Amino acid sequence: ETGVTQTPRHLVMGMTNKKSLKCEQHLGHNAMYWYKQSAKKPLELMFVYNFKEQTENNSVPSRFSPECPNSSHLFLHLHTLQPEDSALYLCASSQEGGTRGNTIYFGEGSWLTVV
Amino acid sequence: AQTVTQSQPEMSVQEAETVTLSCTYDTSESNYYLFWYKQPPSRQMILVIRQEAYKQQNATENRFSVNFQKAAKSFSLKISDSQLGDTAMYFCAFMEGGTSGSRLTFGEGTQLTVNP
């Protein structure tokens, strides 16, 4: 039990499909993140939400659309993806209290394959 | 921009022995934090250990300890009494200090295999 739960764990979608990844954190944190992990590349930060507000979009293509309805839930809506978007998508959360250095806790990831 | 470098893509160690994983980073910041995360085959990223740059004392967590050399910008992880369950990808990560949220910059990872 990690405290950060991601669904689905595996997703296969066509390039014209629309799907969503869901993340829920049970840690009472106020910040949530999406990271992308591709083969042979370091983890890349995609989006950051603090208190439901998006505070960072790391030049992510618009075919990825995040949504944060509350501090416990984070979605990543996927639309017209490309095969190179196939990767492990990791959700994470932390408790932000005004200064950095807060530990970030990760979920188990959602494996996405675009065909 | 900060960069994190892990120069050992793969390492192996015999069970019960000690192994050290290397990490160097580049930053102009004086206030920052360093982390080691472990990613086993389940793919979940698990925090192993954390170091505050303003602390001179090296962090330890049971069998895991770090050698933090701030001037050299080096942050190595030592695993003592290696166990089969330590087999995983290990990532070194950097976080700036200051305000307004946490951002992790990761290295490329070191795949550690513990052999029986």
Q: What's the pLDDT at A103?
A: 85
Instruction: Give the number of other CB atoms < 10 A from CB of residue B103.
Output: 18
Which tens digits make up the pLDDT trace of A56-101? 888 899 999 999 999 999 999 999 999 999 999 999 999 876 555 6
Any CB–CB contact under 8 A between B52 and chain A?
yes
For residue B89, give the H/E element and its range.
Answer: strand B88-96
Whole-number Å distance between alpha carbons of A30 and A90:
17
Distance CA A102, CA B93 (A): 13
pLDDT in tens, B39-63: 998 888 999 999 999 888 999 999 9
B101 with A109: Cβ contact below 8 A: no
According to the model, what pLDDT value does residue A51 have? 84
Question: Which sign, positive or negative, has the C-alpha torsion A74, A80, A82, A86?
Answer: positive
Q: Which residues pair with B111 in a beta bridge?
A: B10, B89
Q: How far apart are CA B24 and CA B38, in angstroms?
A: 17
Q: Are B52 and A101 an interchain contact pair (Cβ–Cβ within 8 Å)?
A: yes
pLDDT of residue B101: 59
Residues of A with Cβ-Cβ distance to B37 under 8 angstroms: 106
Note whether B16 contacts A: Cβ–Cβ < 8 A: no
- Polymer length of chain B: 116
List phi, psi (to 5°) of A88. -95, 125
- Dmax (CA) of chain A: 42
Confidence class of residue B24 from pLDDT cuts 50, 70 and 90? Answer: very high
Interchain CB distance below 8 Å, A55 and B101: yes
Predicted confidence (pLDDT) per residue in A21-60, tens digit: 999 999 999 999 999 999 878 899 999 998 888 888 888 9
What six digits make up the tokens of A15?
């390039």
User: Which pair of tokens denotes residue A13?
Assistant: 């979608």
